[in-house]
Structure formats: C-alpha cells, structure tokens
Chains A and B, each alone.
Chain A
Amino acid sequence: MAKTDCFKSVGKNIPKIDSLGLSTGEEKFTDDFCFPRQIYCKLVYSSSPFAKIINLDLSGAEKLSGVVEILSYKNTPSLFHTTAGQGFPEPSPYDTKLFDQTVRFVGDRIALIAAENPVIAELAARKIKIEYQEFTPVFNPQQSTSSPPLHFQGEHAVIPVPYLPEKNIAAKVGFEIGAVDSVLKNSDLVINKIYQTHYASHCALEPHSAISYFDSRGRLVIISSTQVPFHARRIVSQILDLPVKFIRVIKPRIGGGFGGKQEILLEPLVALITLRTKRPARLVLSREEVFISTRTRHPMEIELSVGADKQGSLTAISMKALMNTGAYGSHALTVLSNTGSKTLPLFNKIKNIRFHAHSVYTNLPVGGAYRGYGATQGYFALGQQIDILARELKVDVLEIYKQQHIKSGETSPVFEVLGEGKEGTSQNITSCQLTECIDQGSQKIDWYGKRDKRIKNGHWVRGVGMAAGMQGSGIPRVDLASAYIKINDDGSFNLNIGATDLGTGSDTILAQIAAETLHTDPSQLIVLSSDTDTTPFDVGAYASSTTYISGNAVRKCAEKIKTKLITAGAELLQVQPQQVSLENQAVVCRKDKRRCSYEEIARYSLYSENQHQIQATTSNFSNQSPPPFIAQFAEVEINPFTGELKLLNFVSAVDCGQPINPLLVEGQVEGAVVNGISYALTEQYKFSSAGRMQNANFKYYHLFRTPDLCKVKTIIVNSYEQSGPFGAKSIGEIAINGPMPAIANAIFDAVGIRLYQSPFTPEKIYQAIHCCHKELTERRQ
C-alpha cells in the first residue's frame, strides 16, 4: 500500500518546473522560433473526397514573385510510408505518400507552397488550378468493403498482419476463447446492442507546427510540436532517404498533443524545403487545417453481446467492432486492438470471450491516436451494456463490477492473445483498487441517495450513472525509454531524458523520481528532454507510458548514480561503502555520522583523486503493463420537454498506484474528464454530402468552455504498484473513457431512454424520449 509518508519528493505537489516560464510567456513553442531568411510554407488541399488529379497547373503560382518552391506529387519522393509515429516496423500500413496523384478525402494534400512571406504563400495557393477525375466516394463504413478500393497502387503492410486494401480493409484482428455462441445461447439473459461513436478532433490549443534549418555543420535541424521526436527523426530519414545522423529533432514546449501530434505530418515537408532551398522553412497550420487535414478520433461501431446467469454472473461476451479509419490507415490496427485489449480483461471471470474487429477505409478524415486509443470507444459500449444488464437482472450495477472485475493476483487470457500489432503479453495484475474506487466514488456522488430516484427540479429530472474501466502503462515489450544523469560541481545533477513532456508534467515527475532515489531535492535536477542529439532514446509520449516506462528508466539510472556517490563518498570519508548511506544530499557514515555533501563528492571526484565524472545512463522496457483503474460517476439533469441536458456532478475515483505528483494527477484526470464530457455532449464533425467538414472552427465545433463546466471531483485512491517507479502506474489516458458511458447511464436513470449513438445532443435526447413515449402510448392502446 501507499508509502507516501516515507517519501521526500514523490507524492508531493511540486509545481511543474516549466510553469512559471509558461505563465510569464518566456517558454518557447515551435512557432515562437524565428530564423533569418526563413521561408513560409502553405499547404493546398483537395476539395474532392476521391479523385485522380488529371491536371495540376502550378504555372500561376510559380510566376508569382516571392514564391520560392512548390512541392507536389510531381517532384517529391513517392515512397509509401505511414504517418503514424510508432515504433519500427510500424504496425500501421504503408499507404501514404508525401503527395499523391490520387486524393482520398477533402483535406488530403495536393501541394505545398514555399514563399518569402505568408501573404504570398496564401496568394499562390489560390492560383493553383486542379482538375479532378472524380471517383465515387465511400462515406459509410458499412459499405466500404463492397466499394471500389481507395488504395490500389502497391500499398502494403510491413509486419505480417491482415491487410486487404482491395477490400478496403486496413486492419483486422480477432480471437475467440471458449465457446461464445453456445454459451450465449444457453445463458439466462443475453443483451445484444449496437453502439456508434463519432469523429472528434484533439483540439490541442497549439496548432501543428514545424520548422527546419541547416545548422552550422550542415545538419538538418527540425523543431517540431511532436509527441515523438525519435520516431519523427526515423520517419523523416525514411521518407527523404537521408541518414539518421544527418537529422536532429527538437521538441520545445508543446501546446498539448492528446495523440494528435503522434503523427509525422509536417516534419518531412519543411525538411524537404530546407534541403532544396538551403533556407529555414516553417509550416504552422491554421485551426481549420488542423480540423480537416490532421488526425481524428476513429469513429466506431460496436456490436456487443453479453450473457449472464440469473445470479448476475457474466457467462460470455462477444465484441464485434467496425472502425472507420478514414482515407489512410494510421493506427488502424492498434487502436482497434486496444478496443478489445483494454476493455475485455476487466471482466476476467468470463470464460468465453470473442473479439472480431476490422478497420475500413472511407473517403473521410483520417483517424489516429487519441487519448484513450480505442478504449474510449470500447467502454462506451461495455459501460452501457453492463448497466443494461444490471437493470434487467435487477441487481446493483456497482455489485456486478465489484464482484466480477479483475483483482490483484489475477490474470485474463486476453492479455496474452491480444497485443498491439502482435500477440500480447501474459501478466498478472499486481495492484487493483477498483472496488475501493467504486466505493469512494459512489459515496461522493451519493449513489444510493440518487440512483433510481428521478429527483425532480421543476421540469428537470435528475439521474446518476457510472462506468468503470482500466487502461495500461505503456506497451509491454515494445516501449523503450532511457535516461542519463551526471553530477555537477555544486552537487546538482543534469537529467537528460528522451521522454516528451506535452504539458503533462513529465519533466517534473521524472525529476521527482530522480530526486527521491538520490535523496536530493527536485530543484537539484536540471532537466533536459526530447532532443534527439542530446537526450537518449525514448519512444515518446503515448500509450500512457511515460510515468511507468520512462519513470523506471530514470529510477534505474539514479540507482546507478547512487552507487557511485556511495563509492566516492566512502572513499572521501575513508570508510567502507557498506558503512555509508545517502541522506539529504550527502553521503553519511552510519556509525559516526560524519558526512560529505554531494558538492564535496563532486569536487573530489572531478578534481582531487581518482578523477572521474559521476554519470550513468540506463534504458528500460517492461514485460508488463500494469493497468490503472477508474470508476466514474455522472449526475445529470434533463428537461424531457426540450431534451436539454445539464451535467451537475462528475466524480472520478482512480487507482494510478502511488501518485508521483498528486496535483498533476488531478490535472490529468480533470483534463481528460472534461475532454470526455465535451466529446459525449457537444463535439462532432458535421459533414456535407460531399464529405467536407462543415464546422471546422471553434464556433461550430463546440469545445467545453468554463460556463459549461459542472462540478468535477477527482479522488486518488490509495494504491501501490510494486513494479512501478515508487509504486506509480499511468494516469494520462484512462479518465477520458468513462464520461460517455457514465452520462449515457445517467440519462437512462433520469428519463429511461438509451442512447446508442454519441454525442448526446438535446435533439437526440428529445427524439428518444418522444419515440419512447409514443411507443408506450401505442402499447397501452
């Protein structure tokens, strides 16, 4: 259990190390860098959802004074690759070119203008004339496999996974354990429902941006708002056929990512302009461009069947998922896999489990990594289904969860059969306080005082709903992180890490982990991160991996430093290493309490005897991915006459192991919760009949704002994960999964209607109430 009391740095609300610099405007984001003679880039996009470009007339643009270079399919490398910033070889299909003569969605790239200033670039973009030979687009994922293929030029998968572009299938995954059909047939109760989730944009406040230039030794430097600097370096090298050693990628401060910047979109373009012109080049997207051309949350349709016996024990589960990956297959396999692998192990008492899923191409915006990564879609279905089941069986849904969720010491066969692009890794759960999460969360929302009560407030009716879930902590046997630490003359330390702080606070918590190990203060750690030249390798910020994977790399590295401090300190104190220990920035002889400070040790080791730099480097990967757990509760108020919904309270009780920094943990939960609520209620892509997003701005794509906010409460439940750094597990993604099912269940609790399609707009709620009412009236007649 928690050992907070014995920690000095871990478990403390240390302010984020960059937060003062950020709130005074000193810290720099990509777009804040400026170079002499820089060139401004502007992309030109397809207005057709599916067409071959039969004539691309650039002459008008080329003639314009101040246009430096124009890129298109005519003059750029045509290598198939994936834009998904994943490990090598990527589990996403190679189906993308820098530019292609075929365009596959409104927002696909056609050309890039590089000009002396942004006004000329904009003007030139309008002078490009494009003639299309239109093809019949497919917008409905149900019709995708029977439609003409989007990809037919040699697109391929680089790992041995099912990839059938001729049938528009971007990925396929599945397994069956036990005998699902026959058990379902013989179950006392079977619930079968179809759920549909919708498109969404990450809406990181900083738009995607990248700058490149040649340094004084002729190497290409790319500054980018990326979650994955090392993958960006590798993929740029691959696309442009440059040696990796020629490229340096730097991530400065980044204005949010949420998965949207785990994608190599702009880096190769600016790099190519710099290569051709020998000048710095910059590309910063507008908000509209971010909406239409970057990545989104994959929409999904899930058919879920769950069987149970009269006592409420779950007998079998079948999950069938159809994912719309849009025009390209970025993360098409792994998001899909996660829909099963992050949800199905939760109910590990079920012996019969089936997961059949495929991703299909459509001529719509491209899906990608998005906080929750498929689990969000999966839990929308599972979270409602368990609620439906509990009501049918007339048992308390909390009891179903508490009795049947996976417990510490237990496992699920799903861990072994379903990984990310390959088989999974079997693991035993070593920490799980989900029951405690459910107890504390339900108490906070006053579950038993409000559930099934339909409390009235004028026309408004109240209801409560809940959902529970798990995520992971990194990808086992895939994710790698590393750290480097050295001591300075004054006993401070440099901590260099490849890990990518997106605003999450990872630079801070990694300093806390190092400080805890080294018995020093976090302010003694000088953190440098995310520079492919000066920091060691890290896969980057995704899959809830940083705290657990990078955190353990830092802890191990600091352990090595600790040993070296002990050796040097003992030498200085003229005792045996076994006789000393670390205490408050000093090596102390346990017997006579004589001490030498880290400063003295640094000076001694650097200048006096047996001179050496006290330094260490370590990398870390994991064979397991201990899941964090969460129980989330929503209280809503609905006006059945208008369909309006007011969210009153939202409670999340989370087991993330030992929080390294509770304030930052709360921040992760609150941010994910409000993003999840906003997704459930107001955010959606509205498409024209030609597949064009019609609301690509913050006016009509409604993000939650402060007046929309309800009471949001986060409870961090006492927990300790043995394998984690000082007991920590991840927290970055999990809290985004609960809002949608919890709110849907609360809507049912209030007004007795089920919404199987997100988002829950007043129109949908009104319609559902109206239909339900009509049905009842007809039945009565």
Chain B
Amino acid sequence: MNGTFIVNKVACNFSFNPTARLLTVLRDNGFTEVKQGCQEGLCGACLVIIDQQLVNSCQVLAASCLQKQITTVKGIGTLHHPHIIQEAFVEAGAVQCGFCTPGMVLATYNLLNQIPQPSEEQIKQFLDGNLCRCTGYVKIINAVKIAARRLNQGNHGKN
C-alpha cells in the first residue's frame, strides 16, 4: 500500500506492506537513525516521537501512522545544527557505541518537554524503556541534567 507520513516536518510518500511496522518502513526509506535493537518494544533503540508521544516504532503498524507527525533524532537536531541535548550527550561522555543514543536523545527531549527540571529519580523513571549496555547510564543521566540546565537557562525548554 501507499501512504503519506510527515517525517521531521517533511511529507513523504512510502509504499509498504500493510503489515509492516513503522520501524521497517522508516529504515527501508533511509531513516536509518531509527535503530533496530530488539523488535519487541523492550530496548528503546527505535524510539520516535509521534504527535508528541514517545513510541517504540517496532511496535506500531506503519499503516496506523498515515499523515502523522513523526520525529526522529534528526528531526530535533543535525550534525550541523545539533540540539542542546545532543551536545550535552557529547560533552558528558554519554555516547559510547551510540546505538542507543538516538532513542536516548528522543526520550530526553520528550522528558524535558514535559518536566523541564527533572530530579534524578524522575530521569531514571523516564528512561526506564531505554537500554544501554556500554555506559552503565551514569553519563547519560549526567547528560540529561546538563541539557535540562542549559535549556532552562536559554529558552525555557522550547528549543
């Protein structure tokens, strides 16, 4: 089947199998920043934001996302115009292999939109769905704190 998705604010027309998951369709169409870690909705590597909701894209049918606003990690910041959260991850040493990072960054983005100044406990609870095997999470939590601080100093979380 065919359908239009609005990925990172750009309308894209994809043809796909009616039973295909959003993760597969995005990756097949070049959005490889959405990572496939478990295909079971248990690792958070494939997180995207759909209409402000954080969603494991391996768990939704692409067909259910037609005309919806889908944000991948590239939608919040790019190599040449990184988001404060992405810069904070770099600075804090929160990126090792980087496979979980796009999901972590999106989860952080969503968290800081909801709770601009989260406590450490809130950060830990919010990132519950994101697995990382490299960092032991310590520097990821630091990165979230740095990003929260900067966003609050700068433009009150609306970056």
Contacts and interface: CB of A to CB of B under 8 A. Distances in A.
Q: Which of B32, B38, B98, B138 has the most CB of A within 10 A?
A: B98
Contacts, number: 189
Contact of B135 (A24, A28, A671): A671
Given A23-B101, A667-B139, A698 B90 contact: no
A15 B74 contact: no
A698 B137 contact: no
Please list the 10 inter-chain residue pairs (A to B) with the smallest Cβ-Cβ separation, ordered nearest first: A25-B33, A503-B97, A22-B98, A255-B99, A674-B136, A670-B136, A698-B42, A32-B32, A19-B95, A663-B93
A29 B127 CA distance: 23
A23 B133 contact: no
B39 interface: yes
B131 A671 contact: no
Interface string B12-40: 00000100000000010010111111111
A23 B43 CA distance: 17
Interface residues of B, number: 55
A706 B139 CA distance: 11
22 contacts: A13-B93, A20-B87, A22-B95, A22-B98, A24-B78, A25-B74, A26-B74, A34-B30, A205-B131, A205-B134, A206-B35, A206-B37, A256-B134, A666-B138, A671-B96, A699-B40, A699-B42, A704-B137, A706-B140, A709-B136, A709-B137, A709-B141
Given A20-B86, A503-B97, A707-B125, A670 B37 contact: no
Contact of B105 (A23, A29, A287, A504): A23
Given A255-B98, A504-B96, A706-B124, A671 B133 contact: yes
A498 B132 CA distance: 26
B136 A706 contact: no
A286 B139 CA distance: 28
A502 interface: yes
A123 to B, nearest CB: 12
Nearest to A697: B40
Contact of A205 (B37, B74, B136): B37
Contacts of A666: 93, 138-139
Q: Which of B79, B95, B135 has the most CB of A within 10 A?
A: B95
A27 interface: yes
A152 B39 CA distance: 39
Contact of B133 (A34, A258, A663, A667): A258
A677 to B, nearest CB: 8
Contacts of B95: 16, 18-19, 22-23
Contacts of B99: 29, 204-206, 253, 255-256, 503
A251 interface: no
Interface in A1-59: 13, 15-16, 18-29, 31-32, 34
Contacts of B134: 205, 256, 503, 667, 671
B30 to A, nearest CB: 8
A163 to B, nearest CB: 33
Q: Interface SS of chain A: helix, strand, loop or mixed?
A: loop
Interface string B143-156: 00000000000000
A311 B33 CA distance: 61
Interface of A: 13, 15-16, 18-29, 31-32, 34, 119, 202-207, 253-256, 258, 284, 286-287, 502-505, 663-664, 666-667, 670-675, 697-699, 703-707, 709, 712
A254 B99 CA distance: 8
Given A20-B86, A667-B96, A705 B135 contact: no
B102 interface: yes
B137 A287 contact: no
A709 B124 contact: yes
Contacts of B139: 663, 666-667, 670
B123 interface: yes
B104 to A, nearest CB: 8
Nearest to A711: B138
Contact of A706 (B38, B91, B128, B133): B128
Nearest to B38: A287
Contacts of B43: 205, 287, 698
B32 A16 contact: no
B79 A205 contact: no
Contacts of B78: 24, 26
A106 B125 CA distance: 36
B137 A706 contact: yes
A24 B137 CA distance: 19
B73 A206 contact: no
